[in-house]
Every structure is written in structure tokens, then in C-alpha cells.
Chain A
Amino acid sequence: GNSVTQMEGPVTLSEEAFLTINCTYTATGYPSLFWYVQYPGEGLQLLLKATKADDKGSNKGFEATYRKETTSFHLEKGSVQVSDSAVYFCALTTLGSGNTGKLIFGQGTTLQVKP
């Protein structure tokens, strides 16, 4: 079946450190891939997405590249800030799910950035 696996957290970094959150997936067909961010007590916000192989999604200094050969969509940021502290979710949708667009989420990775 379709699934998403994220690296376990929490991830604790100092301000201005480099961030990588690993995400790998299993999917039938050609999935679209997403990163969502959830701040404490809030809903999810789309951070970036990629809909085909080798696409790079980017937003607010975050980047992720859709790698079909390694079935990965790792999230990176060159210099994190305290305000980036949140829970990050990797997710996919696929035609294999009947093209209904339902998202399949990873378990989430908590990022804590210390000043």
C-alpha cells in the first residue's frame, strides 16, 4: 500500500544550523509529494510541494527535491531560525488512491530550534 516514513524526532538544532528532515515513500503510480508544517495549537499549512520526478519545491528558505530513484523527498533549510520550531509532515497523494486526492501522512517530525 501507499505509505510515508519520516525520520523520528525530536530534532533539536541551534539557530543558523543546517536542517535535513528525511522522508521516503512507497506508492503506486506517480505520487505528488508535499511538506506541511504545524505550529503549536494550529492547523497545517502547506510548506512546499512537487508533482513530478526531479521537481524541486521551495518556500521560505525550505527546499525538497522529488527523487523517484530513491523514493525520497527530504526537506532542507540552510539556516534555521527559532520561528521554524514546529512539527513537519511529509505527505503524498496518488492516482492509485482513486484520484480522490486524499493525503497520506508520515508521522511528523518535531523541530526545536534554540537561540
Chain B
Amino acid sequence: NAGVMQNPRHLVRRRGQEARLRCSPMKGHSHVYWYRQLPEEGLKFMVYLQKENIIDESGMPKERFSAEFPKEGPSILRIQQVVRGDSAAYFCASSPGGTYQETQYFGPGTRLLVL
């Protein structure tokens, strides 16, 4: 059973460009979470999605960031007009049921560097 897949593993963008990060959950999992890890900090929740629905986006910056999880295909975290402060590791996690007691399984992360 393949784990959570994320690509690309490393992404370099210049200021003002767009970044697209992809996440394929574990087989059988329909709940996806995105977290951001800034340098020397812990992980911070960004958004929680189920297929075709955003359930909780309370951790998402109000501007430039968006997320989707279509019926078919991976979940996408999109950052428009990137700035240097967006440089971070972005982790996706999936779970089968999305309840508070369930284990989340993490992908290897995408490390975004904004020049």
C-alpha cells in the first residue's frame, strides 16, 4: 500500500510566480490535511479537505493561497504571487475518516524556496 505521495519534493520559484503543490493520499483515504513548517518552527495547520469540499480553512492565509481536492486526481495547494516568506516545507497528510482520534499519515513534503 503506497504511502502519501507529494510532488515535487523541491520547488524553486522567483518572487511573483505561482507554486502548485500536489498531494495524493493513501489508497482508501478521502481526507486530506495541509500543514506548513517554517524554518526552525513546528508544523501549522492550513486546510482540511474532503473530496470536492473544503471543510476547514481556518489556517490558510486569506490571500494568494487556495486548495482543492477534486473528485479525480490529487489535492492541490496553490500559492499565487509567491513571496520570500512563503519559503517553507509544505506537508500533506491523509486519514481514512477525518475524526479527531484517527492517525494522520504524512507525505515527505514539498520544500519551497522563493528567490
Contacts and interface: CB of A to CB of B under 8 A. Distances in A.
Interface string A84-100: 00000100011101111
B63 interface: no
Given A100-B48, A101-B98, A106 B91 contact: no
A44 interface: yes
Contact of B35 (A45, A95, A103): A103
A102 B101 contact: no
B45 A46 contact: no
A107 interface: yes
Given A102-B59, A103-B45, A108-B42, A44 B102 contact: no
A108 B42 CA distance: 6
5 shortest interchain CB distances as A-B pairs: A93-B100, A43-B106, A105-B42, A44-B106, A102-B45
